[in-house]
């Protein structure tokens, strides 16, 4: 009886020389993990139909309020970028996560107090309707904040350093 239960979990067997190599389903999954999504469409397709509808509506609301923002996957989450990260969102087992950065959370602290939140994130339970008007306001605030932000600092990862341009180094006293 025990042997048959164990055989149900066998993914495949093969001979290697004189030994029989047995791989279980768990080992098979660990060796071939699913690749992370590369587009927002791929990310949304990973979820059940009801959650897909919520994610599509959230995507639409964000893109309508940030029409110049670029869609991408960042931190394995759908992300909108406009002069830097604008907002991230994602679906989880019991909630939809929205990540408007700490400044976005601080600006709407009172309105978001009804939801579980942290420094830069808020969790909207799946069993309640999302506050679409509040999400629109948050996105508009983040768009204005990113547009008012000064450009990248010299030497930051966003700016390429010209190898032909002389560099200045800190002076070190010679003893």
pLDDT at residue 66 greater than cutoff 70 = yes
Q: What is the pLDDT of residue 166?
A: 62
pLDDT tens digit sequence for 47-59: 999 999 999 999 9
| Domains of the chain, each with CATH number or no CATH | 2-31 (no CATH), 40-148 (3.90.1150.200)
DSSP string, 64-129: HHSTTPEEEEETTEEEEESSSEEEEEEE-SSEEEEE-HHHHHHHTHHHHTTSEE-SS-EEEETTS-
- Name 4's Cβ contacts closer than 8 Å, sequence gap at least 6: none
Q: What is the pLDDT of residue 35?
A: 84
Q: What is the pLDDT of residue 173?
A: 56
pLDDT at residue 6 greater than cutoff 50 = no
Q: What span, in angstroms and rounded, lies between the C-alpha atoms of 167 and 169? A: 6
pLDDT tens digit sequence for 82-122: 999 999 999 999 999 999 999 999 999 999 999 999 999 99
Q: Worst-scoring range by mean pLDDT, 29-33, 37-41, 100-104? A: 29-33
Angle at 156 between CA 150 and CA 161, to 5 degrees: 120
Q: What is the pLDDT of residue 34?
A: 75
DSSP state letter for 149 = S
pLDDT at residue 136 greater than cutoff 90 = yes
Q: What is the pLDDT of residue 73?
A: 95
Q: What is the pLDDT of residue 28?
A: 53
């Amino acid at each position: 009886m025990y042997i048959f239960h164990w055989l149900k979990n066998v993914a495949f067997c093969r001979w290697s020389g004189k030994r029989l190599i047995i791989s279980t389903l768990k080992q098979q999954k660990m060796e071939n993990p699913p690749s992370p999504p590369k587009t927002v469409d791929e990310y949304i397709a990973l979820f059940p139909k009801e959650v897909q509808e919520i994610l599509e509506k959230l995507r639409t609301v964000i893109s309508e309020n940030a029409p110049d923002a670029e869609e991408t996957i960042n931190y394995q989450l759908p992300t909108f970028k406009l002069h830097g990260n604008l907002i991230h969102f994602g679906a989880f087992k019991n909630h939809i996560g929205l990540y408007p950065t700490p400044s976005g959370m601080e600006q709407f602290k009172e309105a978001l107090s009804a939801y579980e939140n942290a420094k830069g994130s808020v969790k909207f339970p799946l069993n309640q309707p999302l506050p679409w008007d509040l999400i629109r306001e948050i996105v508009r605030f983040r768009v204005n904040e990113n547009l008012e932000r000064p450009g990248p600092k010299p030497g930051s990862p966003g700016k390429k350093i010209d190898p032909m341009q002389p560099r200045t180094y800190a002076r070190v006293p010679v003893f």
